[in-house]
Amino acid sequence: MTMLTQTRGPSKPAPYSSETQNAAGAGAAEAHLGMIKRFCMLALTILLAGAALAGIIALRAFAILHTLNFNVH
């Protein structure tokens, strides 16, 4: 008969209520969003580093071609 009666009392919510599921889902969503932001920042950093490297290579190539008297316009 104890299976049919409520043993927690009226003030204690059920352990798997929708509020606890929503709170757990919100925490997981924030963690996922943080992971996406970190990945995007890493990708942007890599792209900017690649662009800076390409710029340096282009400037060095221009300087070398200029010193060898190639007319680059």
| Whether the predicted pLDDT of 51 surpasses 90 | yes
At residue 6, the 3 state secondary structure works out as coil
pLDDT digits (tens, 9 = 90+) for 10-42: 566 555 555 555 666 777 888 889 999 999 999
The residue that leads in pLDDT, 2 or 44, is: 44
Q: Which amino acid is at 56?
A: I
CA separation for the pair 52, 33 (Å, rounded): 29
- What pLDDT sits at residue 10? 59
What tokens were used for 43? 């990708």
The string of pLDDT tens digits covering residues 52-71 is 999 999 999 999 888 887 66
What predicted TM-score, i.e. pTM, was given to this entire model? 0.55
Look at the chain and count its residues.
73
Locate 11 and state its tokens. Answer: 């003030």
Phi, psi of 15 (to 5 degrees): -65, -20
19 residue type, one letter: E
